[in-house]
Protein backbone atom coordinates (compact mmCIF):
# COMPACT_ATOMS: atom_id res chain seq x y z
CA UNK A 1 0.00 0.00 0.00
CA UNK A 2 1.23 3.49 -0.87
CA UNK A 3 1.90 5.96 1.90
CA UNK A 4 1.63 9.72 2.38
CA UNK A 5 3.98 11.60 4.70
CA UNK A 6 2.40 14.37 6.77
CA UNK A 7 4.39 16.99 8.64
CA UNK A 8 2.19 17.90 11.60
CA UNK A 9 1.84 21.45 12.84
CA UNK A 10 3.77 22.21 16.00
CA UNK A 11 0.56 23.76 17.35
CA UNK A 12 -1.69 20.84 18.31
CA UNK A 13 -4.76 23.08 17.98
CA UNK A 14 -4.23 23.29 14.22
CA UNK A 15 -5.59 20.16 12.56
CA UNK A 16 -6.47 21.26 9.01
CA UNK A 17 -3.45 19.62 7.41
CA UNK A 18 -4.00 16.23 9.07
CA UNK A 19 -7.72 16.30 8.24
CA UNK A 20 -7.03 17.09 4.59
CA UNK A 21 -4.31 14.47 4.47
CA UNK A 22 -6.81 11.90 5.70
CA UNK A 23 -9.18 12.82 2.84
CA UNK A 24 -6.37 12.24 0.36
CA UNK A 25 -5.31 9.00 2.03
CA UNK A 26 -8.84 7.64 1.66
CA UNK A 27 -9.02 8.84 -1.95
CA UNK A 28 -5.72 7.14 -2.79
CA UNK A 29 -6.29 4.14 -0.51
CA UNK A 30 -2.96 5.00 1.09
CA UNK A 31 -1.47 4.88 4.56
CA UNK A 32 -0.72 8.05 6.51
CA UNK A 33 2.51 8.56 8.39
CA UNK A 34 2.38 11.69 10.56
CA UNK A 35 5.60 13.16 11.89
CA UNK A 36 5.75 15.60 14.80
CA UNK A 37 9.00 17.53 14.81
CA UNK A 38 10.49 19.18 17.86
CA UNK A 39 13.91 20.45 18.83
CA UNK A 40 15.58 22.12 21.78
CA UNK A 41 19.31 22.54 22.14
CA UNK A 42 20.21 20.47 25.21
CA UNK A 43 23.92 20.24 24.47
CA UNK A 44 26.03 20.86 27.53
CA UNK A 45 23.29 19.78 29.95
CA UNK A 46 24.55 16.22 30.19
CA UNK A 47 22.20 13.70 31.76
CA UNK A 48 19.72 16.45 32.71
CA UNK A 49 19.41 17.39 29.06
CA UNK A 50 18.79 13.80 28.02
CA UNK A 51 16.22 13.36 30.78
CA UNK A 52 14.44 16.54 29.65
CA UNK A 53 14.49 15.36 26.04
CA UNK A 54 13.00 11.98 26.99
CA UNK A 55 10.35 13.54 29.22
CA UNK A 56 9.27 16.02 26.55
CA UNK A 57 9.24 13.34 23.85
CA UNK A 58 6.97 11.18 26.01
CA UNK A 59 4.57 14.08 26.54
CA UNK A 60 4.51 14.88 22.83
CA UNK A 61 3.91 11.22 22.01
CA UNK A 62 0.88 11.18 24.29
CA UNK A 63 -0.52 14.40 22.80
CA UNK A 64 0.04 13.12 19.25
CA UNK A 65 -1.68 9.82 20.02
CA UNK A 66 -4.68 11.63 21.53
CA UNK A 67 -4.90 14.09 18.64
CA UNK A 68 -4.93 11.42 15.94
CA UNK A 69 -7.40 9.26 17.84
CA UNK A 70 -9.73 12.25 18.11
CA UNK A 71 -9.63 13.60 14.54
CA UNK A 72 -8.80 10.58 12.35
CA UNK A 73 -11.05 7.65 11.48
CA UNK A 74 -8.42 6.02 9.24
CA UNK A 75 -6.95 2.87 10.75
CA UNK A 76 -4.01 2.94 8.33
CA UNK A 77 -2.18 5.65 10.19
CA UNK A 78 1.09 5.76 12.06
CA UNK A 79 3.08 8.52 13.71
CA UNK A 80 6.40 9.30 15.31
CA UNK A 81 8.08 12.07 17.25
CA UNK A 82 11.28 13.26 15.61
CA UNK A 83 13.82 15.36 17.49
CA UNK A 84 15.45 17.27 14.65
CA UNK A 85 16.39 20.87 13.92
CA UNK A 86 16.57 20.37 10.15
CA UNK A 87 13.15 19.12 9.09
CA UNK A 88 13.84 19.14 5.36
CA UNK A 89 16.96 16.98 5.76
CA UNK A 90 15.03 14.32 7.67
CA UNK A 91 12.13 14.44 5.18
CA UNK A 92 14.40 14.13 2.15
CA UNK A 93 16.06 11.08 3.68
CA UNK A 94 12.67 9.51 4.49
CA UNK A 95 11.42 10.14 0.95
CA UNK A 96 14.44 8.48 -0.64
CA UNK A 97 13.93 5.37 1.51
CA UNK A 98 10.14 5.10 1.67
CA UNK A 99 9.12 6.85 -1.59
CA UNK A 100 5.75 8.25 -0.43
CA UNK A 101 3.13 9.44 -2.90
CA UNK A 102 3.57 12.95 -1.59
CA UNK A 103 4.63 15.03 1.39
CA UNK A 104 1.96 17.24 2.97
CA UNK A 105 2.71 20.30 5.06
CA UNK A 106 0.94 23.46 6.13
CA UNK A 107 2.32 26.55 4.45
CA UNK A 108 2.93 29.16 7.13
CA UNK A 109 2.79 32.49 5.39
CA UNK A 110 2.14 36.18 5.92
CA UNK A 111 1.32 39.13 3.70
CA UNK A 112 4.99 39.97 3.27
CA UNK A 113 6.66 36.58 3.42
CA UNK A 114 5.82 33.41 1.52
CA UNK A 115 6.82 30.32 3.43
CA UNK A 116 9.32 29.44 6.09
CA UNK A 117 12.82 28.35 5.03
CA UNK A 118 11.73 24.74 5.66
CA UNK A 119 8.92 25.08 3.12
CA UNK A 120 11.29 26.50 0.53
CA UNK A 121 13.83 23.76 1.12
CA UNK A 122 11.18 21.07 0.64
CA UNK A 123 9.74 22.64 -2.51
CA UNK A 124 13.21 22.99 -3.99
CA UNK A 125 14.91 19.78 -2.85
CA UNK A 126 12.43 17.05 -1.88
CA UNK A 127 12.24 14.24 -4.48
CA UNK A 128 8.52 13.66 -3.82
CA UNK A 129 5.63 15.96 -4.76
CA UNK A 130 5.06 18.57 -2.06
CA UNK A 131 1.49 19.53 -1.18
CA UNK A 132 1.48 22.84 0.65
CA UNK A 133 -1.79 23.25 2.49
CA UNK A 134 -3.39 26.67 2.90
CA UNK A 135 -4.39 27.45 6.47
CA UNK A 136 -8.11 27.21 5.74
CA UNK A 137 -10.74 24.49 5.57
CA UNK A 138 -10.77 22.48 2.35
CA UNK A 139 -14.00 22.96 0.37
CA UNK A 140 -15.62 19.87 -1.14
CA UNK A 141 -16.12 19.34 -4.88
CA UNK A 142 -13.52 21.87 -5.98
CA UNK A 143 -11.69 21.29 -9.25
CA UNK A 144 -7.97 20.74 -9.75
CA UNK A 145 -6.13 23.43 -11.72
CA UNK A 146 -3.07 22.30 -13.69
CA UNK A 147 -0.70 25.04 -14.86
CA UNK A 148 1.38 24.01 -17.89
CA UNK A 149 3.55 25.54 -20.62
CA UNK A 150 2.06 24.16 -23.82
CA UNK A 151 4.45 25.96 -26.17
CA UNK A 152 7.76 25.04 -24.58
CA UNK A 153 10.29 23.24 -26.75
CA UNK A 154 12.55 22.26 -23.86
CA UNK A 155 12.46 18.48 -23.20
CA UNK A 156 12.58 18.83 -19.40
CA UNK A 157 9.66 21.27 -19.39
CA UNK A 158 7.68 19.07 -21.78
CA UNK A 159 8.29 16.16 -19.41
CA UNK A 160 7.17 18.37 -16.52
CA UNK A 161 3.94 19.18 -18.39
CA UNK A 162 3.13 15.46 -18.55
CA UNK A 163 4.00 15.02 -14.88
CA UNK A 164 1.70 17.90 -13.94
CA UNK A 165 -1.20 16.54 -16.01
CA UNK A 166 -0.69 12.98 -14.77
CA UNK A 167 -0.74 14.08 -11.12
CA UNK A 168 -3.65 16.44 -11.66
CA UNK A 169 -5.81 13.82 -13.38
CA UNK A 170 -5.01 11.21 -10.74
CA UNK A 171 -5.95 13.66 -7.99
CA UNK A 172 -9.15 14.62 -9.78
CA UNK A 173 -10.15 11.00 -10.38
CA UNK A 174 -9.57 10.01 -6.78
CA UNK A 175 -11.44 13.05 -5.45
CA UNK A 176 -14.26 12.85 -8.01
CA UNK A 177 -13.68 16.31 -9.52
CA UNK A 178 -12.58 17.78 -12.85
CA UNK A 179 -9.23 19.03 -14.12
CA UNK A 180 -8.95 22.55 -15.49
CA UNK A 181 -5.78 23.26 -17.48
CA UNK A 182 -4.39 26.75 -17.92
CA UNK A 183 -1.64 27.95 -20.24
CA UNK A 184 -0.44 31.53 -20.16
CA UNK A 185 1.29 32.75 -23.33
CA UNK A 186 3.42 35.78 -22.57
CA UNK A 187 1.91 39.15 -23.34
CA UNK A 188 3.82 42.43 -23.29
CA UNK A 189 2.03 45.50 -21.96
CA UNK A 190 4.71 47.70 -23.54
CA UNK A 191 4.16 46.18 -26.99
CA UNK A 192 0.41 46.64 -26.50
CA UNK A 193 0.89 50.30 -25.62
CA UNK A 194 2.81 50.75 -28.86
CA UNK A 195 0.07 48.98 -30.81
CA UNK A 196 2.32 46.06 -31.72
CA UNK A 197 0.61 43.29 -29.73
CA UNK A 198 -2.91 42.67 -28.47
CA UNK A 199 -4.01 40.22 -25.82
CA UNK A 200 -6.90 38.73 -27.79
CA UNK A 201 -4.68 38.21 -30.85
CA UNK A 202 -2.09 36.42 -28.74
CA UNK A 203 -4.76 34.10 -27.32
CA UNK A 204 -6.36 33.40 -30.71
CA UNK A 205 -3.02 32.66 -32.37
CA UNK A 206 -1.93 30.40 -29.50
CA UNK A 207 -5.27 28.54 -29.65
CA UNK A 208 -4.85 27.86 -33.37
CA UNK A 209 -1.25 26.69 -33.03
CA UNK A 210 -1.97 24.55 -29.98
CA UNK A 211 -5.19 22.91 -31.14
CA UNK A 212 -3.48 19.62 -32.17
CA UNK A 213 -1.49 19.55 -28.93
CA UNK A 214 -4.56 20.19 -26.80
CA UNK A 215 -6.52 17.52 -28.67
CA UNK A 216 -3.74 14.98 -28.10
CA UNK A 217 -3.36 15.81 -24.40
CA UNK A 218 -7.13 15.80 -23.87
CA UNK A 219 -7.32 12.25 -25.24
CA UNK A 220 -4.22 11.05 -23.40
CA UNK A 221 -5.35 12.34 -19.98
CA UNK A 222 -9.12 12.09 -20.51
CA UNK A 223 -9.71 15.82 -20.02
CA UNK A 224 -12.45 17.68 -21.90
CA UNK A 225 -10.95 20.01 -24.51
CA UNK A 226 -13.17 22.79 -23.20
CA UNK A 227 -11.30 22.51 -19.90
CA UNK A 228 -8.10 23.77 -21.55
CA UNK A 229 -7.87 27.54 -21.10
CA UNK A 230 -5.48 29.96 -22.78
CA UNK A 231 -5.14 33.35 -21.12
CA UNK A 232 -2.35 35.70 -22.13
CA UNK A 233 -0.55 37.66 -19.47
CA UNK A 234 1.87 37.15 -16.64
CA UNK A 235 1.64 33.60 -15.20
CA UNK A 236 2.01 34.87 -11.65
CA UNK A 237 -1.16 36.95 -12.18
CA UNK A 238 -3.19 34.68 -14.46
CA UNK A 239 -2.77 31.40 -12.55
CA UNK A 240 -3.94 32.72 -9.13
CA UNK A 241 -6.81 34.46 -10.94
CA UNK A 242 -7.83 31.21 -12.67
CA UNK A 243 -7.56 29.34 -9.37
CA UNK A 244 -10.03 31.79 -7.86
CA UNK A 245 -12.33 31.68 -10.90
CA UNK A 246 -12.64 27.89 -10.83
CA UNK A 247 -12.53 27.71 -7.03
CA UNK A 248 -9.64 25.27 -7.34
CA UNK A 249 -9.03 23.11 -4.29
CA UNK A 250 -5.50 22.31 -5.45
CA UNK A 251 -3.28 24.01 -8.02
CA UNK A 252 -0.66 21.73 -9.57
CA UNK A 253 2.45 23.61 -10.70
CA UNK A 254 5.94 22.76 -11.84
CA UNK A 255 9.04 24.20 -10.22
CA UNK A 256 12.28 24.33 -12.15
CA UNK A 257 15.23 25.37 -10.02
CA UNK A 258 18.07 27.59 -11.07
CA UNK A 259 21.59 26.28 -11.39
CA UNK A 260 24.98 27.48 -10.31
CA UNK A 261 25.31 30.02 -7.52
CA UNK A 262 21.51 30.46 -7.21
CA UNK A 263 20.64 26.78 -7.21
CA UNK A 264 18.91 27.21 -3.84
CA UNK A 265 16.29 29.42 -5.48
CA UNK A 266 13.41 28.61 -7.77
CA UNK A 267 12.88 30.37 -11.08
CA UNK A 268 11.43 33.87 -10.81
CA UNK A 269 8.05 32.87 -12.30
CA UNK A 270 7.64 29.87 -9.98
CA UNK A 271 8.50 32.01 -6.96
CA UNK A 272 5.94 34.68 -7.89
CA UNK A 273 3.19 32.14 -8.61
CA UNK A 274 3.74 30.36 -5.30
CA UNK A 275 3.80 33.63 -3.41
CA UNK A 276 0.47 34.81 -4.81
CA UNK A 277 -1.53 31.58 -4.69
CA UNK A 278 -3.94 31.46 -1.75
CA UNK A 279 -5.02 27.84 -2.23
CA UNK A 280 -3.44 24.42 -1.73
CA UNK A 281 -0.47 23.91 -4.03
CA UNK A 282 1.03 20.66 -5.29
CA UNK A 283 4.58 21.50 -6.38
CA UNK A 284 6.34 19.12 -8.78
CA UNK A 285 9.89 18.99 -10.07
CA UNK A 286 11.05 17.50 -13.41
- Report the distance separating Cα 282 and Cα 82, nearest Å: 24
Are residues 21 and 122 located together in one domain of the fold?
A: yes
Which CATH number do you get for residue 208? 3.40.50.12370
Task: List the beta strands (DSSP E) in 153-247.
Answer: 179-183, 228-230
Claim to verify: residue 92 and residue 209 sit in the same structural domain = no
pLDDT of res. 259: 46
pLDDT at position 263, please? 43
Tell me the residue range of the domain where 95 lies. Answer: 3-133
Residue 139 counted as domain residue:
no
Is residue 121 domain-shared with residue 151, that is, in the same domain?
no
Give the domain CATH number at 47: 3.40.50.620
Q: How is residue 246 annotated by DSSP? A: T
Residue 42: the pLDDT is 74
What are the residues facing 178 on neighbouring strands? none
Q: Are residues 153 and 199 in the same domain?
A: yes
* pLDDT for the residue numbered 261: 38
Residues β-bridged to residue 103: 5, 130
**In this structure, is residue 47 part of a structural domain?**
yes
**For the chain, where are the E strands, in sequence order?**
3-7, 31-38, 77-83, 103-106, 130-133, 144-148, 179-183, 228-230, 250-254, 280-284
Q: What is the pLDDT of residue 169?
A: 97
89 and 218 both lie in a single domain: no
Domain check: are 11 and 127 in the same one? yes
Tell whether 193 and 221 lie within a shared domain.
yes
Query: Are residues 13 and 121 located together in one domain of the fold?
Result: yes
- Each residue's pLDDT expressed in tens, for the chain with a length of 286 residues: 799 999 999 888 888 899 999 999 999 999 999 999 998 877 777 777 788 888 888 999 999 999 999 988 877 899 999 988 889 999 999 999 999 999 999 886 544 445 567 888 888 889 999 999 886 655 666 899 999 999 888 898 899 999 999 999 999 999 999 999 999 987 765 555 455 566 788 888 889 999 999 999 999 999 999 999 999 888 888 999 999 888 898 999 998 755 443 444 455 566 777 778 888 999 998 8
Longest Cα–Cα distance in the chain: 75
* 110 located within any domain: yes
Number of domains the chain is built from: 2
φ/ψ bin of 101: left (φ > 0), alpha (ψ from -120 to 50), beta (otherwise): alpha
Q: Is 257 helix (H, G, I), strand (E, B) or coil?
A: strand
Same domain, 165 and 127: no
pTM score, two decimals?
0.86
Amino acid sequence: MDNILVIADADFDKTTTIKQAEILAKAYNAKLHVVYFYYEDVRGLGSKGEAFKQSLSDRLDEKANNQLAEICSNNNISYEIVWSKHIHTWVNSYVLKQQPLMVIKTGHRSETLFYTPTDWHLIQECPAPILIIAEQQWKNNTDILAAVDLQTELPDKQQLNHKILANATRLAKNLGVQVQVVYTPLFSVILRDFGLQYKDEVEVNASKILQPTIKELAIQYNIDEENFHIHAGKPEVVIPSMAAKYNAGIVVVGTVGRKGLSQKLLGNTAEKILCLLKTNVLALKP
